[in-house]
Amino acid sequence: MFEKVREIIVSNLSCDLEAVTMEASLTEDLELDSLDAVDLNAALEEELGFAMPDEVLKDIQTVGDIVRYLEAHDGGAE
C-alpha cells in the first residue's frame, strides 16, 4: 500500500520520491496545503477506489497516517 500511496503523492504534489517516507509530514516536509489535501484525496479515490472522509483528513499528519488509515479501512486491498 505504501508504494501505491507514494506514487500518487509524488504524481500529485510533484515532490521527490525520496522525500515521501512513512514519517514524512504532509504539511512540513511535503508542503501540502488544504487544496492539495483535497486533490490528493481525490487522486487516492480515483487510483485506489477508496478515499478518506473529510473529518479524517483534518487529522492526517504523515504519509504513514494515510497508509495506515487506508489499510485499516480498505482491508489493505491491493
Task: Write down the domain spans for the chain.
Answer: 2-74
- In tens, the pLDDT along 19-43 reads 999 999 999 999 999 899 889 999 9
CATH 3.40.50.300 fits 2-74, yes or no: no
Residue 36 annotated to the active site: no
pTM for the full model?
Answer: 0.86
Task: Concatenate the DSSP letters of all residues of the chain into one string.
Answer: -HHHHHHHHHHHH---GGG--TT-BTTTTS---HHHHHHHHHHHHHHHS----HHHHTT--BHHHHHHHHHHHHTT--
Mean pLDDT of 40-55: 89
Identify the active-site residue in 16, 33, 59, 74: 33
AA identity, residue 29: D
